[in-house]
Amino acid sequence: MPGSAHRTLRGTTEPATAGRTQPARAFPVTDHRLIQISDIHLSSDDLEFAGARPRDNLVAGLELLGEVDLAPDMLVLTGDLANTGDPLCYQDLAEIMHRAAESLGAVVVYVPGNHDDRPEFRRHLLGQPPDRAPINQVHWIDGLRVVLLDSVVIGQEHGELAEETLAFLRDAVAEPAADGTVLAFHHPPIPSPVEPMAEIMLHHGDRLAEVLVGTDVRLIISGHNHHEELGALGPVPVWVSPATAYRMDILSREAVHALPGCALSQIDLTPAGVTVNVIHVPVGTP
Ligand SMILES: [Fe+2]
Ligand SMILES: [Fe+2]
């Protein structure tokens, strides 16, 4: 569970609200903390672009989490976990994340991205038989529901939510959860300022927006762009996490220009609402 400063928000009227009427709460939530880790791009030659060190960056990020008292409940890995779907990279990732989960006392969940290979992802990260069907999941942190969807279109860089995935979501959020729902998938439903990335965002986001009407989804989190971005799909806020492998220069506009960098997202859900903060991980300059 989150640390003590974080926990002061839970169920207390002291001291800031003493003598005043408590504001109405949309969700009777307890505190939940997620750490989003996106676009790891593990590769056997450790080179996603010149000088990048994806594995070193991931390890540095996890070590940083171990050094500070963030006490996350869940680590959510939002896709492009292995750069070319290499089974050895998934084995390596599973071992790294198993050790991190044990030391942090957090659950780890995995979402696929366009660089991932569904059968190998299933086999090594989920312990399931290899299968090419979309990887859709529901996890719980007490009363908080975390729905993970597969936005991958096999052989394509852009994302879509297949009919079976939208049906899965419809079923998953048919009844409200005590603390609401966080929805995670790889391709952002909002455009990047970098044009080539905007072209390969989630297509047909309007279909998703229709499913979300009247549900308890409090936040959408995605990755893919390698730069942070905040937006909304209808009334639901959308957070696009920065990547661990490298960062995208948003000023490149018409081209994809990668820069060294590594960052994680800290996502807190409290009675006061939702906050997202970026944790920058110091990594070496190539
Ligand atoms: Fe990526
Ligand atoms: Fe991607």
Closest listed ligand to the CA of 157: 2
Do residues 243 and 49 make contact, with C-beta atoms less than 8 angstroms apart? no
Q: Kindly report the CATH number assigned to the domain that includes residue 119.
A: 3.60.21.10
Alpha helices (H) in the chain, listed in sequence order: 4-7, 54-67, 87-104, 118-121, 163-172, 195-199, 205-212
Distances in Å between the Cα of 115 and the Cα atoms of 21, 76, 128, 243, 246 are 51, 17, 19, 14, 15
Closest listed ligand to the CA of 112: 2
234: left (phi over 0), alpha (psi -120 to 50) or beta: left
Would 59 be classed as within a structural domain? yes
Would 238 be classed as within a structural domain? yes
Gap from CA of 169 to ligand 2 centroid (Å): 21
Gap from CA of 259 to ligand 1 centroid (Å): 13
Would 187 be classed as within a structural domain? yes
The model carries a pTM of 0.89
Gap from CA of 245 to ligand 1 centroid (Å): 8
pLDDT band at 50 (very low <50, low <70, confident <90, very high): low
Does pLDDT of 56 surpass 70?
yes
Would 49 be classed as within a structural domain? yes
CA–CA distance, 257 with 197 (Å, rounded to integer): 11
110 forms beta bridges with: 77
The CB-based long-range contact list for 279-284 (8 Å cut-off, 24+ gap) reads 279/35, 279/61, 279/64, 281/57, 281/60, 281/61, 281/64, 281/244, 282/60, 282/64, 283/53, 283/56, 283/57, 283/60, 284/53, 284/56, 284/260
Does pLDDT of 150 surpass 80?
yes
List, for residues 66-104, the tens digit of each pLDDT value. Answer: 999 899 999 999 999 999 999 999 999 999 999 999 999
List, for residues 215-269, the tens digit of each pLDDT value. Answer: 999 999 999 999 999 999 999 999 999 999 999 999 998 888 989 999 999 999 9
Better pLDDT: 153 or 271: 153
Please list, in sequence order, all residues whose beta carbon lies within 8 angstroms of the beta carbon of residue 11, skipping any fewer than 6 positions away. Answer: 271
Gap from CA of 79 to ligand 2 centroid (Å): 7
Number of domains in the chain: 1
Residue 282 structure tokens: 């110091």
Gap from CA of 224 to ligand 1 centroid (Å): 4
Would 15 be classed as within a structural domain? no
Gap from CA of 225 to ligand 1 centroid (Å): 6
Across the beta sheet with 32-37, the strand order is 107-111, 74-78, 32-37, 263-270, 273-280
CA–CA distance, 175 with 169 (Å, rounded to integer): 11
278: left (phi over 0), alpha (psi -120 to 50) or beta: beta
Gap from CA of 39 to ligand 1 centroid (Å): 4
Gap from CA of 78 to ligand 2 centroid (Å): 9
Gap from CA of 100 to ligand 1 centroid (Å): 22
Gap from CA of 248 to ligand 2 centroid (Å): 12
CA–CA distance, 22 with 43 (Å, rounded to integer): 51
Domain around 103: 30-280
Would 1 be classed as within a structural domain? no
Closest listed ligand to the CA of 49: 1
* Mean of pLDDT values over 194-211: 98
Does pLDDT of 130 surpass 90?
yes
* Mean of pLDDT values over 206-220: 98
